[in-house]
Amino acid sequence: MGLRYLTAGESHGKGLTGILEGLPAGLKLDVDYLMTQAARRKMGYGRGNRQKIETDAITITAGVRHGLTLGSPIALWIENKDFKNWQDVMSAEDCPGEVKRRVDVPRPGHADLVGALKYRQKDMRNILERASARETAIRVALGTAARRFLEELEIVVGSRVVSLGEVEDDTPAGDPGTLNARADKSPVRALGREKDLIAVVERAKAAGDTVGGVVEVVAGGVPNGLGSHVQWDRRLEAPIAQAFMSLNAIKGVEIGGGFRTAASPGSLAHDEFEPGKGGQVKYRSNRSGGVDGGISTGQNLVVRAAMKPLATLMKPLASVDLRTGKAASAHIERSDVCAVPSAAVIGESLLALVLAQAVLDKFGGDSMEEIVPRVRAWRKSGTSI
């Protein structure tokens, strides 16, 4: 069955719940490890005041005993510290009086309007609270558990920001194992052009605007043979694209050269082969981003995702008041100027969840004692026919 997970919770509700089922038994996992990645999610130049309020303290409520996974579902909980200021607004109890902080004016580019139409909600707060990127806090926690599993198999995941607005940093990503250590030193999580990228955020902030960008997530140590060509939904690119497109504000995903490859002739779009040691075949490049024909090649897996500017602007766009039908300025909800650095970190967890699933699909096993030797044996034998 592999991995499956669910999350629940609203942005200003009591907290966020996550359940991850399918991780094997015997995996070392503790709160300190989970909290390390939770803190990284809050990083990034251009984030709002919410990051100062929330500690994102994670509690393991099921599936782990004495620091080891049990093979049963893992349940995680993150309390929303800001709930104390929203208890009346977000109470689960019946509200006989006037509803506070009702939202009647949708924000262009957000789920407000389409969600209200779909679920027949007159108060769009019933939509935006769940559509908020606050949900990604618990998804990162679940993805961090998957990351812990991958680390035992010598698979590492890192990320960096490639561009903000019109400014691009073309510094090579380098070793995935050290990528985060290098990127985390920068407030914009980039490897170069830091001052130029910060200036983009500053200009947007001064204009009451927001800024998007492109992130790159790289996995190293990925064994070849993950995924399959035999059915459309087993191709490794498929769940990767779905996972990244499920992240708030992501509007495009590419693997390897992606859209850039489309402008190249075939002679410059593919990875040529050459003889390697012991009869193995070597790749001369990695334009494919570590996936060919829906199957991992054993090279670094490289994913890029384009994030649009956030939909909440301090100088709001034109909208309509749904109560009156008249023109109005869009609703203003607390927001960030730029969340691209955070999206890069979140992308690590999304890719970790997909790769953990792909590993379990190929190698199976209910415990780490079973899986680790299988992966090690494949690494030795799976590089030649």
What's the CATH number where 73 sits? 3.60.150.10
Distance CA 315, CA 300 (A): 42
Dump the DSSP string for 164-177: ETTEE-------HH
| pLDDT at position 125 | 96
SS3 at position 137: helix
Within the chain, residue ranges assigned H as helices are 31-41, 50-53, 87-90, 112-119, 125-131, 136-152, 176-183, 194-206, 237-245, 258-261, 340-363, 368-381
Distance CA 138, CA 136 (A): 5
* φ/ψ (deg, to 5) at 77: -135, 135
* Contact in structure between 89 and 101 (CB atoms under 8 Å): yes
Cα 127 to its chain centre, rounded Å, is 21
Q: pTM for the complete prediction?
A: 0.95
Distance CA 121, CA 115 (A): 8
**Amino acid (1-letter code) at residue 361:** D
Domain count, the chain: 1
pLDDT tens, per residue, the chain with 385 residues: 689 999 999 999 999 999 999 999 999 999 999 999 999 998 888 776 555 556 789 999 999 999 999 999 999 999 999 899 999 899 998 877 778 899 999 999 999 999 999 999 999 999 999 999 999 999 999 999 999 999 999 999 999 999 999 999 999 999 999 999 999 999 999 999 999 999 999 999 999 999 999 999 999 999 999 999 999 999 999 999 999 999 999 999 999 999 999 999 999 999 999 998 888 899 999 999 999 999 999 999 999 999 999 999 989 999 999 999 999 999 988 779 999 999 999 999 999 999 999 999 999 999 999 999 999 999 988 666 6
Q: Percent helix, strand, coil in the chain (nearest 5)?
A: 35, 20, 45
Distance CA 197, CA 215 (A): 13
Distance CA 382, CA 235 (A): 19
Distance CA 65, CA 70 (A): 7
Distance CA 112, CA 125 (A): 8
Q: How far apart are the first and last CA of the chain?
A: 28
| pLDDT at position 195 | 97
Nearest to 228, CA basis, from 294, 297, 298 = 294
Angle between helices 31-41 and 340-363 (to 10 degrees): 140
List Cα–Cα distances, 197 to 43, 163, 164, 200, 348, in angstroms.
15, 8, 6, 5, 21
Task: Give the domain range for residue 352.
Answer: 4-381
| pLDDT at position 382 | 67
